[in-house]
Structure 1
Amino acid sequence: MLAHLAQRFKVDKEPLVTEALCYLAQHYESVRTTLAELAERGRHDRTVTSAVRFRPEARSDGDSARPDLAGLARNTTLVLIEGKFGSGLTDHQPVTYLERIAPGGTLLLVCPSWRVPHLLEAATRKAAEAGFAVRGAPVKDPEGIHWHALTEGRHLAAVSWVDLLRLLEVRGAPDEQELPQEIRQVHALVRRFEGMLVEWRRDQLLAAEFGDLFEMGCAAAQQAVEVLGSLVGQALAPKWVRAGNHNYRGHAEWAGHRLVIGFAPADWGRPSPSPLYFALSKHHVPETGRQALYDVYLRVMKDIDARLRHDFDGRGFEACAWEETYWWGPLPLAFGVSEQEWHSDLRATIARILGQMTDSLAPLPIGEAKD
């Protein structure tokens, strides 16, 4: 019922689910204990974590960040929990959060299972750039939590919503008889919200409407840019920019070349049967290298046009002409498939574009790429 009401009244995803998590931590001792024990990965023992209490969207005098859930032992922040569905890292995340956590504390990111490695990698890169030294490779524990050790005993961790809820249910005490039902309701919310991000239908891809589909388009762009970042080893996040039309996009640099992936609402439907697009930027390449880049673009578009014609009854997409300002095309999305299949297909599509670039384009000499 809770999942139905959330969908019916269009509530925000992250605040609702993290508020539910806070409710569980405040009303069930086993949940509070399990979440507090996240700090034991660092230097804090049970005598310290037993004092941890959880508050939603806790503010601090030292910064303006509002983490979804904060675990404090008296006035010391030992655990911060940030929930994600389709949204990316904000300017405060993770650096401001890690600065707020006491030495030995933990920042836990909770997200859909397919985002766990991408989100942890992006957060770790931002933390390292801010001076939080990363110690070794991430480690996955038996509960499904991925841990990355940082300086001063702090830990940056990520886990899926499903694994976290399963852990909370397993750790429930015998006298907490209502806890399993409470967790099942939160689990139903998670399933509904995660499904809203990737469960595209063919008619939705052709509809190009606002409302829920606009949100799905933004979420798809977020995930596509994260995939692009993981493939090129860069921490990427989309942003709204004005380039012709408004675009929610991100880009990766490869040896002086630029690949852009994003969501352009004005181009969805007509002419593009996909909310996402890719673009190869000729403006970042000297004139002597543009023919090779355009040849790559044409080969990519030949494959994409064939796929679109197969998926949409002969409706394809004509490649941009040489003289056009941008060389772009639709980034096809799978529809009517499972979440895992959707993400595997998205990753394979982006990897094929990068593969064409890698196979055909020579790195630009230093200083030759244009701004």
Structure 2
Amino acid sequence: MMNETLFAHLATRFGPHPENLATEALGYILRRSALARDAVRDLLRGVGVVVPSSLIYRNQVAGGDEAQPDLVGFDDQGNQRLIIEAKFWAGLTSHQPVTYLDRLPHDGGALVFVVPAARVTLIWGELLRRCLDAKLSVQESQTSIPDVRQGALGDGRKLALVSWRALLDPIGFRLEAADDRRTREDLVQLRGLCERMDAEAFLPVTSEELTTQIYRRVIEFGRLVDEVCTALAHRGIANMKGLRAIAGNGYSGRYLRLRGVGCFLVCDIRKWMKFAPTPLWLSVYGVKWDASDLAATRRALAPLESANPPRVFMAGDGFPTVALQVPVGAERDIVVKSLLDQVIVVADFLGSLGAVEQPAGGEKDTPPDDASPEA
């Protein structure tokens, strides 16, 4: 499960360009912490890039070439010794990497791209291609550090690419060893954003993906939701009267009442990517479809939340969601029975809330019209 932080939430909800916020945060940490600067210097040294220890970092450095790198490290003479360009899902600009390389001195300057781990191979290949088009020869060399690529130009300049994790982990280790809690807390916020972007980065489409039959599973998972809901209703465990099925980007499901408690049985690919390896989930919204009995609901689900591995997670909408495990290698009827049994277990836990089938106050009998589940 990725490290969700307040900074990540705000950056992705209100920031049109999260890369800018991430690089601003990185610059802030490097300017404030000598330990962070040393960690970056040592990481780069490990891939053959030597930079002075006294670099002064500045964000968004414009120049006469109309390029504006995200983060630049200046030496004592004011030379741009290190240029760091951060990416999440944005593509390379027309200035990258050639214009940025032209800014560097030919006696040890380095250009480093930071990207999600899923894009390391793709972006590195494109950087090399653009250098080749510009008649810049880059001699690649191997490194034992995961998600790191490096190359040297014949004149002493270096080109490198690292994942966000490869960059931030060494900083975190250095701060942890020195017990620098304040800077470490700042790094946790930045790491949370990077992990979220890493998980959500757009992966290049392959021909194999376009021709595989694996995506029929998403349709089959949606049908499993319908079958389980029907079976629950036939057994008198669920009531779907007046409740609707809804779908959106990455999810489809149906609202229902289990033992009088409002729930949502859903095939949710977003939760699959975020919380646990299963596409099927049961979100619990309480008797009144609000947070008024949230504490009691969580107490009722405590045995599942404390299980190993945990079965209950708090979704982005603030309500608990239960992971329903899909049997592997089983026929359809066995899968349906297993899912049905798991939902009945949850329903039995919720029965301890003492909910009634039709609560007072008709306005709370169904979820709000604009309700949609969040991962």
TM superposition score normalised by structure 1: 0.52
The 1-side partners of 2:93 and 2:56 are apart by: 25
3-state DSSP class of the match of 2:189? helix
User: Given the alignment, which residue of 17, 34, 37 partners 2:39?
Assistant: 34
CA contact (8 A) 1:106 1:154 kept: yes
Please report how far the alpha carbon of residue 4 of structure 1 lies from its aligned counterpart in structure 2 after TM superposition: 2.6
Give the match for residue 139 of structure 1: 142
Change over 3 Å in CA distance of 1:150–1:5 after alignment to 2:
same
The 2-side partners of 1:44 and 1:89 are apart by: 22
Give the match for residue 9 of structure 2: 4
Give the match for residue 156 of structure 1: 159
Please tell me the residue identity of whatever aligns with 2:82: V
The 1-side partners of 2:30 and 2:196 are apart by: 22
The 2-side partners of 1:305 and 1:181 are apart by: 40
Please report how far the alpha carbon of residue 150 of structure 1 lies from its aligned counterpart in structure 2 after TM superposition: 2.0
3-state DSSP class of the match of 1:153? coil
Give the match for residue 321 of structure 2: none
Matches within 5 A, 1:33-52: 33-36=38-41, 49-52=52-55
User: Given the alignment, which residue of 56, 59, 79 partners 1:56?
Assistant: 59
Please report how far the alpha carbon of residue 194 of structure 1 lies from its aligned counterpart in structure 2 after TM superposition: 2.9
Worse-matched range after superposition: 108-117 or 176-185: 176-185
Give the match for residue 93 of structure 2: 90
Matches within 5 A, 1:301-320: 310=220
CA contact (8 A) 1:124 1:156 kept: no
Please tell me the residue identity of whatever aligns with 1:13: P
Task: Determine if the alignment matches structure 1 residue 24 to structure 2 residue 25.
Answer: no
The 2-side partners of 1:53 and 1:37 are apart by: 16
The 2-side partners of 1:304 and 1:184 are apart by: 36
CA contact (8 A) 1:169 1:179 kept: no
The 2-side partners of 1:11 and 1:93 are apart by: 21
Change over 3 Å in CA distance of 1:2–1:133 after alignment to 2:
same
The 2-side partners of 1:130 and 1:53 are apart by: 30
Change over 3 Å in CA distance of 1:85–1:35 after alignment to 2:
same
The 1-side partners of 2:111 and 2:221 are apart by: 42
3-state DSSP class of the match of 1:117? helix
Please report how far the alpha carbon of residue 186 of structure 1 lies from its aligned counterpart in structure 2 after TM superposition: 0.7
Please tell me the residue identity of whatever aligns with 2:122: H
Please report how far the alpha carbon of residue 174 of structure 1 lies from its aligned counterpart in structure 2 after TM superposition: 2.1
Please report how far the alpha carbon of residue 38 of structure 1 lies from its aligned counterpart in structure 2 after TM superposition: 6.5
CA contact (8 A) 2:58 2:71 kept: yes
Give the match for residue 224 of structure 1: 204
Please tell me the residue identity of whatever aligns with 1:98: L
CA distances 1:257-287 after superposition (whole Å, capped 9, x unpaired): xxxxxxxxxxxxxxxxxxxx97xxxxxxxxx
Change over 3 Å in CA distance of 1:35–1:154 after alignment to 2:
same
CA distances 1:208-262 after superposition (whole Å, capped 9, x unpaired): xxxxxxxxxxxx3xx326x67xx9xxxxxxxxxxxxxxxxxxxxxxxxxxxxxxx
Please report how far the alpha carbon of residue 189 of structure 1 lies from its aligned counterpart in structure 2 after TM superposition: 1.4
CA distances 1:121-154 after superposition (whole Å, capped 9, x unpaired): 1111111221221214x42244753212222122
Give the match for residue 228 of structure 2: none
Give the match for residue 313 of structure 2: none
CA distances 1:313-370 after superposition (whole Å, capped 9, x unpaired): 6xxxxxxxxxxxxxxxxxx9x945448x99xxxxxxxxxxxxxxxxxxxxxxxxxxxx
Unaligned ranges ≥5, structure 2: 1-5, 224-249, 251-267, 278-375
User: Root-mean-square deviation (CA), in Å?
Assistant: 3.6
Task: Determine if the alignment matches structure 1 residue 126 to structure 2 residue 130.
Answer: yes
CA distances 1:65-107 after superposition (whole Å, capped 9, x unpaired): 1110011113211111111111111101111111111122111
TM superposition score normalised by structure 2: 0.52
Change over 3 Å in CA distance of 1:86–1:25 after alignment to 2:
same
The 2-side partners of 1:169 and 1:45 are apart by: 21
Q: Max radius of gyration: which structure?
A: 2
Give the match for residue 65 of structure 1: 67
CA contact (8 A) 1:143 1:163 kept: yes
Task: Determine if the alignment matches structure 1 residue 14 to structure 2 residue 14.
Answer: no
User: Given the alignment, which residue of 188, 193, 204 partners 1:189?
Assistant: 193
The 1-side partners of 2:71 and 2:83 are apart by: 6
User: Given the alignment, which residue of 180, 196, 216 partners 2:184?
Assistant: 180
CA contact (8 A) 1:42 1:105 kept: no
Matches within 5 A, 1:180-329: 180-197=184-201, 220=202, 223-224=203-204, 300=211, 310=220
The 1-side partners of 2:215 and 2:194 are apart by: 35
Aligned length: 226
The 2-side partners of 1:131 and 1:143 are apart by: 28
Give the match for residue 317 of structure 1: none
Change over 3 Å in CA distance of 1:131–1:21 after alignment to 2:
same
Give the match for residue 106 of structure 1: 110
Give the match for residue 76 of structure 1: 79
Change over 3 Å in CA distance of 1:37–1:80 after alignment to 2:
farther
3-state DSSP class of the match of 2:204? helix
Please tell me the residue identity of whatever aligns with 1:14: E
The 2-side partners of 1:83 and 1:22 are apart by: 11
**Comparing both structures, which one devotes a greater share of its residues to helix?**
1
The 2-side partners of 1:161 and 1:309 are apart by: 34
CA contact (8 A) 1:36 1:71 kept: no
Q: Percent identity?
A: 30
The 2-side partners of 1:76 and 1:38 are apart by: 21
